Amino acid sequence: MQQDPDITYITPTAPVATATHGGRAKCLQRLVRLDLPVPKTVALSFDEVRRIASGETPDMAALMEPFGDAALLCVRPSSEDPDWGGPGAVLNIGINDARFIDLCDQLGREAATAMYLRFVQAYAIHVARLDPDMFDHINQDDPDCLTEVLRAYEEETEEEFPQDPAVQLLEVLRSMARAWGGTTARLLRQAKGAPADAGLGLVVQEMAPSMGKGECGSGVIQLVNSKTGERKITGRYLSQSQGRDALARQSAALYLERDPRGPSLQELAPEAFDQLIEYTRMMRVRLREEMQTEFTIENGNLHVLDGVRVARSAHAAIRIAVSLADDGVIPREEALTRIDPRAINELLHRQVDPDAPRDVLATGIAASPGAASGRIVFSAAEAQASAARGEPCVLVRRETSPEDIRGMHAATAVLTERGGMTSHAAVIGRGMGLPCVVGASSIKFHLRRKTLKTADGRELRAGDIVTVDGTNGEVLAGEPPLLKAEQDDAFQTLMTWADEVRDIGVRANADTPADAQTARNFKAQGIGLCRTEHMFFEGDRLTVMREMIFADSVKDREAALERLLPMQRADFIELFRIMQGQPVCIRLFDPPLHEFLPHDRAGHRELAEALDLPLSDVTRRVEQLSEYNPMLGMRGVRLGITVPEIYDMQARAIFEATIEASRDGDPVVPEIMIPLVSAKREVELVKTRVDAVAAAVRTEKGRDFTYRLGVMVETPRAALRAGEIAPHAAFLSFGTNDLTQMTYGLSRDDAGRFMSTYVQQGVFPEDPFHDLDTEGVGELLQIGAQRGRDARPDLVLSICGEHGGSPESIAFCRAAGFNYVSCSPFRVPVARLAAAQLAVQEKFGVLPGKPLKDL
């Protein structure tokens, strides 16, 4: 028996492994090895359970032999990863009319009845598949209830309740084995990362008595708080109970430690309590994990039924991992691999309390994590007015445009009907740490009437309170309780450890001083992308910008730019000062000019007044600037070459700010990046002018400085021609938002409309604006990197599209030899941890979340 690899009696040396028998079976063997009082257990392997599911009968005599004749048994699932779930446990197998009578003598009628009832009900529901409602009216205190339940079973099934323990056990095993193959169970576990062919093991364990004479009961205990990870004895114990009853019937449960509010396990069974603490501590050290102990007490004696990894919030996970490493239980590197980088979002943004009820109005794309509540407003102006009144508001738009920036700053969250992961609202929302759901197309947006209609027919009006949960991509009714964002000392410690092992740089995309400050607080190693155009929407700059756009001659344009120069210079000085000598990569003006113009008639009129021009002039100019495909039109370097005065002004502002900020702080070496390049000649032309501006500023100011000029690779052609571009560029930064858009020929602003259909039908495995398409776009990255480096070995390579913050893209870029990734400031910690995990993984050959056994 001991040697049977499929029906394995668990002893310290039995052939039990997580990969063949599941995590629970393996954990129980470890507890047996620690000499804990674990009831007898037999583990069934994945193969055995598969055979049972397909109708084969295991060797029941061999299976039941270790338990003797009178034992009651329970069966629990044992999948490879406990998170993949499995069918619920079934207790008290083996009870029948004869044993019931014995149990009445041993434990009393009440306890025996409760045990038999529990089994009959579980058997009826899980094995005979009867409707659970049929037991709703059963009153457990009624002395005849058992007879009634057995009769109900017989009436429904037209069979007697099975009395043979072997039959009972076999049927339970069959039902659990088959439940694992059900569609819902399969989809649920696959959603948690289980492979399609994941196996299920089962453990058959002798029931340790927990009902009867003396102090008997069952419970769970752990030594940390699941929400905070702080050391605190928590759990539940209920006298005269089984399984997880103590958790279900909380009101009657006892305190574990002595407590002035009521009786405790420590007082009722002090020795068992002390042992429990000792065992749970021992499990922590020997199993190298914070464990919850499931136990029973039988007349004061302790049995340990199971050890389960303590459930934990992201906060708790970090504190637990750090404290295990601090106590020398696991190495620091392993602590790093224990945290899912994405879970860090929970610490950086407010979240809806997971215990709160959720009234979901609609779902969309989870574009920027965190949650916030507020009254619905339908325009940026209303958002600003609401903020001025001190009323939190949620800005609802069909999609946002640069004109909405101030409204977004005023709002607590943003909801849009259209858009995808790289649409305006998403990019800006992530940059600001503003919760944002985009592409909520199941809602009907009636912007004129200022109402929203949800798919289930509910109508929301301006002023109604909603909550945007950007972590899950949901819009909720009302104001559920939120948990605040907090980065405690354990988080800081973990991040320091991450930086010690990380071997790829992490910078932030930051456009404003506030972004830069956030980037610094999160220890970004510089700014990898500063989108300068956002600066032109601030305050009265928009009017000057519009004057520049309307200028008829170079002279008039230069005059307007002359007024923008000091504003840009001031912006850059502030950024350089905040970043204290760290690299700041400034992208020259990128969007098409018409984005700065009003789009409706009222706006045109206002502009005509402001610029003192006839309305017809304004309308004509707006028409002149309009393009069929603005994102593929006169923008980026094309504008820079056609209207070179804009880049001249920006270069001057950067250099003058460099001199100014270097005067009283660390020397600044600015990086200037040219957007939307597709040809070498574009770079040559811009470089010549920027060099000329640098020379002029040096001469005028009598000060020297250095700078680096680089190219943003966001057209497929730039990636393919990287070999001839690189000699003119100190760095190449891959803008994977536009590169994805252009590689697929897929508008980043419109893709949200059909993306979910595409993903559901398996056309794309995921939204490529969300998950880097490593096959297509990725190949361009590799080609660009390779050809660029071949031409110029010291070429600095980076990614600054939104993918830069995702762990998978970081892995890809690191493997392709990139120097750094740049992402929204709030994703910097996620990127730092993900990058550290990659280094650890490479060093020790393990996957994140898996123990470093050989360290």
Q: Residues with catalytic annotation?
A: 424, 800
Tokens of 147: 């007879």
Q: CA of 124: how far to CAs of 119, 121, 131, in Å?
A: 8, 5, 8
DSSP assignments along 184-234, one per residue: HHHHHHHHTT--TT--EEEEEEEPPP-SSSSS-EEEEEEEE-TTT--EEEE
Q: CA of 659: how far to CAs of 135, 561, 663, 665, 694, in Å?
A: 81, 20, 6, 10, 11
Closest CA to 111 of 211, 207, 206, 210: 211
Judged by beta carbon, residue 417 or residue 738, the one nearer Mg ion is 738
Judged by beta carbon, residue 246 or residue 529, the one nearer Mg ion is 529
The size of the interface with Mg ion (CB under 5 A), counted in residues, is 3
Site for ligand PEP in 762-801 (CB under 6 A): 800-801
Are the CB atoms for 801 and 740 separated by under 8 Å?
yes
Judged by beta carbon, residue 41 or residue 824, the one nearer ligand PEP is 824
Judged by beta carbon, residue 205 or residue 809, the one nearer ligand PEP is 809
Distance, in Å, from the CA atom of 118 to the CA atom of 108, rounded to the nearest integer, reads 16
Closest CA to 802 of 345, 367, 341: 367
Q: How far is the CB of 631 from ligand PEP (least distance, A)?
A: 9
Closest CA to 39 of 186, 188, 242: 242
In the set 238, 529, 690, 729, which binds ligand PEP (CB under 6 A)?
529
* Binding partner of residue 736 among ligand PEP, Mg ion, none, CB cut-off 5 to 8 Å per kind: ligand PEP
Q: How far is the CB of 169 from ligand PEP (least distance, A)?
A: 60
Helix pair angle (828-844, 807-815), 10° resolution: 50
Q: How far is the CB of 757 from ligand PEP (least distance, A)?
A: 25
Tokens of 843: 């060093």
> Rounded to 5 degrees, what are φ and ψ at 207?
-70, 125
Tokens of 461: 């009006």
Distance, in Å, from the CA atom of 519 to the CA atom of 500, rounded to the nearest integer, reads 19
Judged by beta carbon, residue 467 or residue 736, the one nearer ligand PEP is 736
Judged by beta carbon, residue 294 or residue 714, the one nearer Mg ion is 714
Q: CA of 576: how far to CAs of 178, 403, 520, 536, 656, in Å?
A: 63, 26, 11, 18, 12
DSSP assignments along 68-94, one per residue: -SS--EEEEEEESSGGG--SPPEEEET
Judged by beta carbon, residue 740 or residue 837, the one nearer Mg ion is 740
Site for ligand PEP in 799-818 (CB under 6 A): 800-801
Contact status: 738 vs ligand PEP (CB under 6 A)? yes
Closest CA to 805 of 840, 830, 781: 830
Element (H, E) at 274: helix 270-286
Pattern 15-54, binding to ligand PEP, x per CB under 6 A? ----------------------------------------
* Binding partner of residue 245 among Mg ion, ligand PEP, none, CB cut-off 5 to 8 Å per kind: none
* Binding partner of residue 800 among ligand PEP, Mg ion, none, CB cut-off 5 to 8 Å per kind: ligand PEP
Q: How far is the CB of 422 from ligand PEP (least distance, A)?
A: 6
Are the CB atoms for 695 and 611 separated by under 8 Å?
no
Q: How far is the CB of 412 from ligand PEP (least distance, A)?
A: 24
Sole window of 107-115, 177-185, 265-273, 731-739 interacting with Mg ion (rule: CB under 5 A)? 731-739
Q: How far is the CB of 714 from Mg ion (least distance, A)?
A: 5
Site for ligand PEP in 537-596 (CB under 6 A): 590
Tokens of 258: 């002595």
At position 750, the amino acid (one-letter code) is D
Edge-to-edge strands, sheet with 7-9: 7-9, 41-44, 200-206, 73-79, 90-93
Q: Within its chain, how far is the Cα of 288 from the centroid?
A: 25
Q: How far is the CB of 796 from ligand PEP (least distance, A)?
A: 16
Q: How far is the CB of 805 from ligand PEP (least distance, A)?
A: 12
Judged by beta carbon, residue 198 or residue 535, the one nearer Mg ion is 535
Strands 459-461 and 301-309: unpaired
* Binding partner of residue 531 among ligand PEP, Mg ion, none, CB cut-off 5 to 8 Å per kind: ligand PEP
Q: How far is the CB of 714 from ligand PEP (least distance, A)?
A: 5
Q: How far is the CB of 675 from ligand PEP (least distance, A)?
A: 7
Q: How far is the CB of 126 from Mg ion (least distance, A)?
A: 55
Longest dimension (CA), the chain: 106
With CB atoms as reference, the residue minimizing the distance to Mg ion is: 738
Distance, in Å, from the CA atom of 322 to the CA atom of 316, rounded to the nearest integer, reads 10
Site for ligand PEP in 150-209 (CB under 6 A): none
Judged by beta carbon, residue 346 or residue 714, the one nearer Mg ion is 714
Judged by beta carbon, residue 202 or residue 427, the one nearer ligand PEP is 427
Pattern 696-735, binding to ligand PEP, x per CB under 6 A? ------------------x--------------------x
Contact status: 736 vs ligand PEP (CB under 6 A)? yes
In the set 290, 334, 515, 738, which binds Mg ion (CB under 5 A)?
738
Sole window of 168-176, 453-461, 728-736, 772-780 interacting with Mg ion (rule: CB under 5 A)? 728-736
Site for ligand PEP in 394-433 (CB under 6 A): 427
Pattern 299-338, binding to Mg ion, x per CB under 5 A? ----------------------------------------
Distance, in Å, from the CA atom of 523 to the CA atom of 582, rounded to the nearest integer, reads 11
Site for ligand PEP in 588-617 (CB under 6 A): 590
In the set 26, 375, 520, 531, which binds ligand PEP (CB under 6 A)?
531
Edge-to-edge strands, sheet with 371-377: 360-363, 474-477, 465-469, 371-377, 393-397, 413-416, 436-438, 365-368
Q: How far is the CB of 404 from ligand PEP (least distance, A)?
A: 16
* Binding partner of residue 53 among ligand PEP, Mg ion, none, CB cut-off 5 to 8 Å per kind: none
> Rounded to 5 degrees, what are φ and ψ at 398?
-60, -50
Judged by beta carbon, residue 280 or residue 422, the one nearer Mg ion is 422
With CB atoms as reference, the residue minimizing the distance to ligand PEP is: 735
> Rounded to 5 degrees, what are φ and ψ at 48?
-65, -45
Q: How far is the CB of 529 from ligand PEP (least distance, A)?
A: 6
Distance, in Å, from the CA atom of 652 to the CA atom of 568, rounded to the nearest integer, reads 9
Pattern 697-716, binding to Mg ion, x per CB under 5 A? -----------------x--
> Rounded to 5 degrees, what are φ and ψ at 767?
-65, 115
Are the CB atoms for 817 and 797 separated by under 8 Å?
yes
Tokens of 282: 């021992």
* Binding partner of residue 824 among Mg ion, ligand PEP, none, CB cut-off 5 to 8 Å per kind: none
Helix pair angle (145-157, 109-122), 10° resolution: 20
Please report the beta strands in 248-364, taking only residues with DSSP state E, as ranges in sequence order. Answer: 291-298, 301-309, 351-352, 360-363
Judged by beta carbon, residue 590 or residue 660, the one nearer ligand PEP is 590
3-state secondary structure of 116: helix
Judged by beta carbon, residue 645 or residue 738, the one nearer Mg ion is 738
457: region left, alpha or beta (phi > 0 left; psi from -120 to 50 alpha): left
What residue ranges bind Mg ion (CB under 5 A)?
A: 714, 735, 738
What residue ranges bind ligand PEP (CB under 6 A)?
A: 427, 529, 531, 590, 714, 735-738, 800-801
